[in-house]
Chain A
Amino acid sequence: MITSIAWKNVWRNRTRSLTVIAAVTVGVFASVFALAAINSSIVQRIDSAVNEELSHIQVNTKEFRSSSDILNIISEPDKVAETLRKTPGVTDVTGRIIVRGIASAPSGSAGVEITGIDIEKEKQMFTLSGKLIPGTGSYFGADTKLNSAFIGEKLARELQIIRYILTAESLTALVDKGVPSAVTDRLKPLEGQRFTTEKKLTEAYYRLLTPKEIKKYGLAIREAAWSYREGSRVILSFLDVNGNQTGAAYRICGIFRTNNDLFEATSVFVPMEELRRLTGLEDGVYHRFIARLEENDMTDRVTPVLKEALPGLEVMNWKEIQVDLAMIADYINQIYAIFMVLILAALSFGIVNTMLMAVLERTRELGMLSAVGMNRRRIFLMIMLESVFLSVVGGFTGMAVSGIVIGITNHTGINLVKYSEGLEAFGYSAHLYPTIGADFFIILTVLIVITGILSAVYPARKALQLNPVEALRGE
């Protein structure tokens, strides 16, 4: 009876209730969705940091990171590798030799870190091979020679191995993609011209198109003009074990694209054997061992074990290497909490206000109810139920909308490429796939109900303070 009256009372002032419900819905949705988006970009960032760049744990000499001396090699490498392999939780171990040097091409050069890797092993341990840009070759494919290098897109641009040419075919492809031929016709003067940087290309078409067209089609034009000549060469030079300048011409076998510009700009991967020959580092000698764990969650547990087992070496997990990322990862719970507080505060504010208004408006009716014998407990319960209904309807609608939108965008992704330059420079993907834990949903749902109940207390107490005689007077 009371429940049904309370429910009907919610719908008495339809406009007001719907407004509150809509406000709560929007508030919950906005917060949950924003959180899901943030969460997604952090999850992706961690994912790519671990799977493409760092793996879980790295071991090298204590001086390795601060000095570029090629002789900072791990002593007793077999023993170290064995220790790593035998540690519970470790699934895979690989060794690397790493030298700092310069990569140069005819029209550019850059400081790089050249890493000699065990190609097959690293393919299992990292997903970087899958980040190959289609059309740029392969990850050390079948025809790989020893002097092949796998480099990042950013470096390729800096070395101007990637260029921009609008060919007749690429212009036709643009039309197929939906760019009006009026636009491509005006791009005709650029056909066949070669631009060494994206900037030069941009400057060229800026003069030919309207700002609106540039905004709409710029990205497509840049993508169409992107071109890479397979088999481009790059000279890698560095010091050998004796401190003598050495180096060789490497054929670029493939170019990878990640979300981390810094990693892309400085990493060059080459087969280990050739690098050993050039540097004079002997077989079995390594600068760094990399260990992969069964699960990322084990990182904090396994790291101290290894630190203890390998006292003379620097043992660092990805969180220690990428402190900023680890901090964000660790703070995600605090971020969750802040968002929850925001959602709930907004909810509570709306409910308290609406219910106070409802109580004050119904003074006489509440007085009458008390006069005819509706006791305090029942009146309290009625107002509480009204508030709870309001918050639960609003909260759940918000959760449902959030759930659906997150579900959809998690599949389709949100493309931020247009605004992404800032993001990718810091290693965050320009494509978001919002995601949020089921636990967050459950906790938030429970908290919404609790907040609804708590927010109801004040208005319900107000209702109890009404004196029926006073309330009914003035008839």
Chain B
Amino acid sequence: MNVVEINDVYKTYHDTEVEVRAVNGVTLSFTKGDFAVIVGPSGSGKTTLLNLIGGLDQPTTGEIIVAGHRLSELKPSELIDFRMEHVGFVFQSYNLIPVLTAAENVGFIMSLQKWPKEKRMARTGELLEAVGLADRHNSRPSQLSGGQQQRVAVARALAPRPEFILADEPTANLDSKSAETLLDIMEKLNREEEMTFIFSTHDARVMKRARRVITLEDGKVVSDERTNHRE
């Protein structure tokens, strides 16, 4: 079952004199349970592609269908609700709300979705446990290390059970040990919660851990390989 379908998508920027084709004719699909990484050098269009998939931006041409929604048909306000309901985001940094505790951050999207308090608390506890931060419920982001913050961000993205999680270079700011831990956790959640992960990186260590590696160059998919190193 396809969670994401991308059909001949182009994204062109005209900001400067020259037109930049950040995404230049991409056709791809992701299935439930994918653990896919998008790699490519800086400027190859990874962020742009992830933004398109997540409904943060609209393609210039082409069609993106996520969980049965044609994103081009959604109005901006509907796109926000779509993101809240279907997509989990993990960014490179500035993921967390600084005035809230780790637990409150994990619960944030669930509370936007108006989950009842008990369910929300139970899910938060379960996820903080899963990301190895069971003892940091009441810590503020500023009291957590970069790796711990990213784990909280993963827990938050996962909490309301979205269709998939998009993570744009989630390890870029982390040391290798923290990056390993984060990937371990993502892998485990992928397995245990059957959560689809689509993330980008230009970090070879991260690449090795994926079961599917999509390589972008100048906005084009130059290879899409499934590796079976886990099985």
Of the 9-residue stretches B77-85, B127-135, B178-186, B202-210, which lies at the interface with chain A? B77-85
Are A475 and B97 within 8 A (Cβ)?
no
Are A373 and B92 within 8 A (Cβ)?
no
Q: C-beta contact mask, B66-108 vs A, less than 8 Å → 1, else 0?
A: 0000000000010011011101010111110111100000001
- Is B51 in the interface zone, CB < 8 Å from A? yes
Closest B residue to A376 by beta carbon equals B77
- Is A364 in the interface zone, CB < 8 Å from B? yes
- Is B57 in the interface zone, CB < 8 Å from A? yes
- Docked Cα-Cα span, A1 to B110, in Å, equals 11
Q: Which chain A residues in 354-369 approach chain B with CB under 8 Å?
A: 364-365, 367-369
Are B83 and A469 within 8 A (Cβ)?
no
Per a CB cutoff under 8 Å, which of B80, B89, B97, B156 touches A375?
A: B80
Are A372 and B94 within 8 A (Cβ)?
no
Q: In the complex, what's the smallest C-beta–C-beta distance from B99 to chain A, in angstroms?
A: 4
Closest B residue to A363 by beta carbon equals B94
A interface secondary structure, majority? helix
- Is B20 in the interface zone, CB < 8 Å from A? no
Closest B residue to A364 by beta carbon equals B94
Q: In the complex, what's the smallest C-beta–C-beta distance from A320 to chain B, in angstroms?
A: 63
Per a CB cutoff under 8 Å, which of A5, A374, A469 touches B56?
A: A469
Q: C-beta contact mask, B165-179 vs A, less than 8 Å → 1, else 0?
A: 000110010000000
- Is A378 in the interface zone, CB < 8 Å from B? yes
Q: In the complex, what's the smallest C-beta–C-beta distance from B82 to chain A, in angstroms?
A: 8
- Is B111 in the interface zone, CB < 8 Å from A? yes
- Is A202 in the interface zone, CB < 8 Å from B? no
Q: In the complex, what's the smallest C-beta–C-beta distance from A21 to chain B, in angstroms?
A: 18
Are A5 and B77 within 8 A (Cβ)?
no
B residues less than 8 Å from A473 (CB atoms): 47
Are B81 and A375 within 8 A (Cβ)?
yes
Per a CB cutoff under 8 Å, which of B84, B92, B100 touches A5?
A: B100
Are A365 and B83 within 8 A (Cβ)?
no
Closest A residue to B57 by beta carbon equals A469
Q: C-beta contact mask, A369-413 vs B, less than 8 Å → 1, else 0?
A: 111111110100000000000000000000000000000000000
- Docked Cα-Cα span, A9 to B85, in Å, equals 25
**Chain A residues with a Cβ closer than 8 Å to the other chain, count:** 24
Q: If A5-B97, A12-B98, A365-B97 touch, does A371 touch B85 (CB 8 Å cutoff)? A: no
Closest A residue to B113 by beta carbon equals A373
- Is A247 in the interface zone, CB < 8 Å from B? no
Q: In the complex, what's the smallest C-beta–C-beta distance from A186 to chain B, in angstroms?
A: 67
Are A368 and B109 within 8 A (Cβ)?
no
B residues less than 8 Å from A11 (CB atoms): 99
- Is A248 in the interface zone, CB < 8 Å from B? no
- Docked Cα-Cα span, A198 to B157, in Å, equals 86
Are B97 and A370 within 8 A (Cβ)?
no
Interface centre among B93, B97, B111, B168 (most CB of A within 10 A): B97
Per a CB cutoff under 8 Å, which of A1, A370, A475 touches B93?
A: A475
B residues less than 8 Å from A371 (CB atoms): 54, 56, 83, 89, 91
Closest A residue to B52 by beta carbon equals A469
- Is A8 in the interface zone, CB < 8 Å from B? yes
B residues less than 8 Å from A373 (CB atoms): 80-81, 83-85, 87, 109, 112
- Is A472 in the interface zone, CB < 8 Å from B? yes
Q: Could you list 13 further interchain pairs (A-B, Cβ under 8 angstroms) beyond the known A372-B89, A372-B109, A373-B87?
A: A1-B112, A5-B100, A368-B94, A371-B89, A371-B91, A372-B108, A372-B156, A373-B80, A373-B83, A375-B80, A376-B80, A475-B91, A475-B172
Binding site for B on A (CB under 8 A): 1, 5, 8-9, 11-12, 364-365, 367-376, 378, 468-469, 472-473, 475
Binding site for A on B (CB under 8 A): 47, 51, 54, 56-57, 77, 80-81, 83-85, 87, 89, 91-95, 97-100, 108-109, 111-112, 156-157, 168-169, 172
The 5 sampled A-B contact pairs (Cβ below 8 Å) are A12-B99, A368-B95, A373-B109, A375-B81, A378-B112
